[in-house]
Amino acid sequence: MRVSMTLSLPGQPSSVTRARRVLTTLLSLTDAAEDCRGHLAVLITEACANAVLHGDPDSAVDITIDIDGDVCLLEVGNRGSTPDGAGLDAELPAPLTVGGRGLPLIAALADTAAFVAGPPDHVLLRITKHLTGTPPPSDR
């Protein structure tokens, strides 16, 4: 099965919930493992929250959800720039009550996650997750 959707939501906190609801609805059409659904809910929540928080104030949050077979591709983009030193290999901050946990959570839960080149002054985070749980050995 292939399901694809593109959204452009306003850069405001309520868009995080909307994006998560759309993803949850699309995943309900699949045989995705329950733990993968939960991981994907966290992934889209953190990616969208970062786009809202760190994007230019008048920037939309552009989201692509593409489910093809047993792989879900999420792309979350906005107008802005990747913060200096921001990466997906960062350690979780201590204590966990402070900000800065989004990228480490994304790195921990995604099969792949990377900032990819896009138009100037745009940030695009591409995330993949296998819906069956563990990715094939060649994807690790």
Give the tens place of pLDDT for each residue, 38-94. Answer: 999 999 999 999 999 888 888 899 999 999 999 999 999 998 776 555 556 555 555
What's the mean pLDDT in 1-6? 94
Q: Backbone phi, then psi, for 35, in 5-degree steps?
A: -65, -35
Domain that holds residue 16: 2-139
Number of domains observed in the structure of the chain: 1
Task: Determine the Cα–Cα distance for residues 52 and 43; give it in Å rounded to an integer.
Answer: 14
Q: CATH number of the domain that 62 lies in?
A: 3.30.565.10
Q: Decide if pLDDT at 31 tops 50.
A: yes
Residue 139, phi then psi, degrees to nearest 5: -90, -10
Q: Which two tokens stand for residue 17?
A: 């919930």
CA distance 58 to 6: 19
pLDDT tens-digit map of 101-117:
778 889 889 999 998 87
Beta carbons of 99 and 93 less than 8 angstroms apart: yes
